[in-house]
Amino acid sequence: MIEKKHCCSESSEFSEHSEPLESSEHSRHSHHHHELREKIVLIVLTVVLLLAAVWIERSFALPMWQLLLVYLVPYLVIGHDTLKEAVEGLVHGDAFNEHFLMSVATIGALCIGFLPGADTEFAEAVFVMLFFQIGELFEGYAEGKSREGIAHLMDIRPDVAHVLREGAGMQDVAPEQVAVGEIIVVRPGEKIPLDGIVVEGNTSLNTVALTGESLPREVAEGDEVVSGCVNLNKLIKVRARKSYGESTVSKIISLVEHAGERKSRSEAFITRFARVYTPVVVLAAVAIAIVPPFLLTSHLSPLTSQFSTWLYRALLFLVVSCPCALVISVPLTFFGGIGGASRSGILVKGSSFFDVLSQLGTVVFDKTGTLTYGQFAVEAVHPDMMDEHELLHLAAHVEHFTTHPIGAALRDAFPDEAADGCQVSDVEEVAGQGIRARVADREVCVGNAKMMETVGAKWHDCKHDVGTIIHVAVVVDGQWTYAGHIVINDRVKADSAEAIAQLHQLGVRRTVMLTGDRQEVACDVAKRLGLSEYHSGLMPADKVAHMERLLSEARTEDTAHYVAFVGDGINDAPVLARADVGIAMGGLGSDAAIEAADVVLMDDQPTKVALAVRIARRTLSIARQNVVFAIGVKLAVLGLAVLGLATMWMAVFADVGVTVLAVFNAMRALRNQETL
């Protein structure tokens, strides 16, 4: 039997999401397609039987009761499950659902022909039930598409892990059975089952299911990898650094499963609305059927004639007033919005955050790891007595053995350093100053201004570039001579400026940066990105204090608005939690991001913040369109029904037609969000 939903009750699938996405996802998906195919077969069979019944009615003068039996065949074929759901609703105390309304209306239409002076409505009753099922078919299709929008994340869930165990060779086990520290073999085409570190091999990883980005990520020995990525090229060995329950893939799946628990204001309103609306509609229909006949009865218009007329109008009233279009399409819109956002690498933890995102007036950013890469890199080279290539050559070789990030930045800027055969000897590290070494036949010092003063090299400061200044001096004719300096800085992300510009275009009035970095560095980044304001040298507690101030100002302005905080989710957890909506950057590498934030961006692109705002506004716009359209059409046809100007076909359109159109409109929320 085809499963049905009580869209007018709190048990709505879209409202509660009680079924875990992780459990038997593929089998449930297959079952859903089977249900749709079964419904299509029943609809086609009903159309054939209905046409046959109409032909029999026109060809043979059958008594009323025999004609009823003829039409009962297609009616029961298409409506048996609706009748069953109505009865079950009555038994379980959930009488006022759409199945009950449809059952009462169609059974009333079948019976109305037996009243004196009334026309038969057998065909109309079957048509109402038929179109109701057609509406359910489109609803089921839309539901499946919406679930696919989120369920594509289930593709990241690995099925097996190939574990190398001492004395037992390679064993295939469930990812949950892998212990931290064990070595996992990942072949080309397979998913990485747990977060870990590559201990052997190099390859390219497909991260599209996690980030929405199609560009492969190159990894080699020593690099961290996260579960859910697909190995594209070569076999690699990975040492697990987390259990499955703590891995990225597990946390994402858990996040998606519970995304529906936080309802938006629109969804909460619709749930309350249906709880009150449906009983009122039923009582109103009863009043329409009973009160007017007694008030309008006269010797020219007997009670039976009046009763059949107003009963028909009451049945039309019931059909029209079914709130399916609202109760189905509004939650479906938000469900589709969450699914569409996830396709773009944006995980929203509940539809309630769409309300907040759509009304952002202030967006606060952390700097390191959010607007910048959080990695040192050479930004400028200023030689004094040699060219840039030679200056980098000397500095990179002197820093050959250091593990300091500045040394890594210098080596990265001169990739030939490790293979050019130049010998480095007599390495001496001077604490708090730098490193002295012999590169080939030259003595070189690389360090800060204090080291230049120590060796007696006359140096000059960098007046144009902001960042960490690394000075270089060499021995010439027995004396230390200044060779130039290198500026090392945390690189600004390529799309950070575009992200700020997009937010301003969307009407976000204030873009603020809170950072613990130095004032001159913060000022430089703020100017380059076009931020409204910045605050530097902050400790975590200082950031929370600034957030409190911004929240207070946002509430007291003429146009009250919400405040978002965008951070890397590790040391910014208190601010993420305090903001109206916390948006975590860099979900691929940050456990705290998934834990603390309300919205998780599964890559490091700041422009996804503006995209999340556009998705939220579009989703809310679609939900409002459905509410206005459904209520407007229903009110118009309800008025006509009470006045006796509506037909059963109008009633069918006001219910099923409006529902189908609203469902199709809701499906627009699933559209490729990158084009918004």
572-615 confidence digits (pLDDT tens): 778 888 889 989 886 554 565 567 688 888 777 899 999 999 99
Q: Over 60: is that where the pLDDT of 621 sits?
A: yes
Q: Over 80: is that where the pLDDT of 626 sits?
A: yes
Query: Cα separations (Å) of 643 from 61, 95, 117, 152, 293?
Result: 33, 28, 19, 50, 14
Show the CA angle centred on residue 493, arms to residues 589 and 206, nearest 5°. Answer: 45
Strands 236-240 and 217-219: unpaired
Q: Over 60: is that where the pLDDT of 419 sits?
A: no
Give the pLDDT confidence score for residue 11 in this predicted structure. 37
The span from the CA of 290 to the CA of 606, in Å, is 63
- Catalytic residue from among 94, 366, 490, 604: 366
- pLDDT, average across residues 206-211: 65
Quick check: 541 and 575 in contact, CB under 8 A? no
Reference 263, options 273, 249, 252; nearest CA is 273
The span from the CA of 310 to the CA of 294, in Å, is 10
DSSP state of 493: P
Residue 526 pLDDT grade (very low, low, confident, very high; cuts 50, 70, 90): very high
Identify the weakest region by mean pLDDT among 179-183, 184-188, 411-415, 502-506.
411-415
Identify the weakest region by mean pLDDT among 31-40, 41-50, 349-358.
31-40
Q: What are the residues facing 366 on neighbouring strands?
A: 514
Quick check: 89 and 99 in contact, CB under 8 A? yes
Give the pLDDT confidence score for residue 331 in this predicted structure. 77
Is the pLDDT higher at 208 or at 435? 435
Give the pLDDT confidence score for residue 413 in this predicted structure. 83
Residue 3 pLDDT grade (very low, low, confident, very high; cuts 50, 70, 90): very low
The span from the CA of 555 to the CA of 558, in Å, is 8
Identify the weakest region by mean pLDDT among 115-129, 204-218, 235-249, 385-399.
204-218
- Of the CA atoms within 13 Å of residue 82, those in its CB half-sphere come to 29
Give the pLDDT confidence score for residue 258 in this predicted structure. 56
Phi and psi at 468, nearest 5°, equal -85, 125
- pLDDT, average across residues 311-325: 74
Q: Over 50: is that where the pLDDT of 6 sits?
A: no
**Hey, what are 608's tokens?**
């996804």
3-class SS of residue 570: coil
To the nearest whole percent, how much of the chain has pLDDT over 70?
Answer: 78
The span from the CA of 107 to the CA of 118, in Å, is 15
The span from the CA of 611 to the CA of 481, in Å, is 53
Q: Look-up: residue for tokens 């140096």?
A: 459
366 an active-site residue?
A: yes
To the nearest whole percent, how much of the chain has pLDDT over 90?
Answer: 19
Q: Over 70: is that where the pLDDT of 658 sits?
A: yes
The span from the CA of 581 to the CA of 562, in Å, is 8
Size (the chain), residues: 676
Q: Which residues of 70-99 are buried (b: 16+ CB within 10 A; e: fewer)?
A: bbbebbebbbebbbebbeebeeeebbbbbb
pLDDT one-digit tens code per residue, 78-127: 988 888 888 888 888 766 667 777 787 778 778 766 765 556 668 877 88
Give the pLDDT confidence score for residue 522 in this predicted structure. 87
Q: Estimate to the nearest angstrom the gap between the alpha carbon of 443 and the chain centroid.
A: 57
Mean model confidence pLDDT for the chain: 79
3-state SS of 234-300 is: CCEEEEECCCHHHCHHHHHHHHHHCHHHCCCHHHHHHHHHHHHHHHHHHHHHHHHHHHHHHHHCCCC
**Hey, what are 138's tokens?**
């489109």
Quick check: 151 and 27 in contact, CB under 8 A? no
How is the beta sheet containing 230-231 ordered, strand by strand?
217-219, 203-206, 230-231
List all residues 6 or more positions away from 25 whose beta carbon is below 8 Å from its beta carbon: 151, 154
pLDDT one-digit tens code per residue, 354-368: 989 999 999 999 888
Give the pLDDT confidence score for residue 666 in this predicted structure. 82
Show the CA angle centred on residue 576, arms to residues 574 and 579, nearest 5°. Answer: 105
Is the pLDDT higher at 124 or at 18? 124
The span from the CA of 612 to the CA of 340, in Å, is 10
Quick check: 492 and 474 in contact, CB under 8 A? no
Show the CA angle centred on residue 584, arms to residues 581 and 587, nearest 5°. Answer: 145
Q: Over 60: is that where the pLDDT of 189 sits?
A: yes
- pLDDT, average across residues 157-164: 83
Q: Residue 467: enclosing H or E segment and its boundaries?
A: none
The span from the CA of 7 to the CA of 433, in Å, is 71
Where does 344-482 have alpha helices with state H? Answer: 352-358, 388-398, 405-413, 449-455
Predicted TM-score (pTM) of the model is: 0.70
Give the pLDDT confidence score for residue 593 in this predicted structure. 56
Q: Over 60: is that where the pLDDT of 65 sits?
A: yes
Is the pLDDT higher at 582 or at 294? 582
Reference 327, options 73, 647, 98; nearest CA is 98
List all residues 6 or more positions away from 13 whose beta carbon is below 8 Å from its beta carbon: 5, 19, 143
Q: Over 70: is that where the pLDDT of 269 sits?
A: no
Q: Over 60: is that where the pLDDT of 26 sits?
A: no
Give the pLDDT confidence score for residue 9 in this predicted structure. 40
Q: What is the DSSP string of 38-76?
A: HHHHHHHHHHHHHHHHHHHHHHS---HHHHHHHHHHHHH
Q: Over 60: is that where the pLDDT of 132 sits?
A: yes
Give the pLDDT confidence score for residue 139 in this predicted structure. 66
Q: Over 70: is that where the pLDDT of 370 sits?
A: yes
- pLDDT, average across residues 611-623: 93
Identify the weakest region by mean pLDDT among 52-61, 152-161, 422-431, 557-566.
152-161
Q: Over 60: is that where the pLDDT of 192 sits?
A: yes
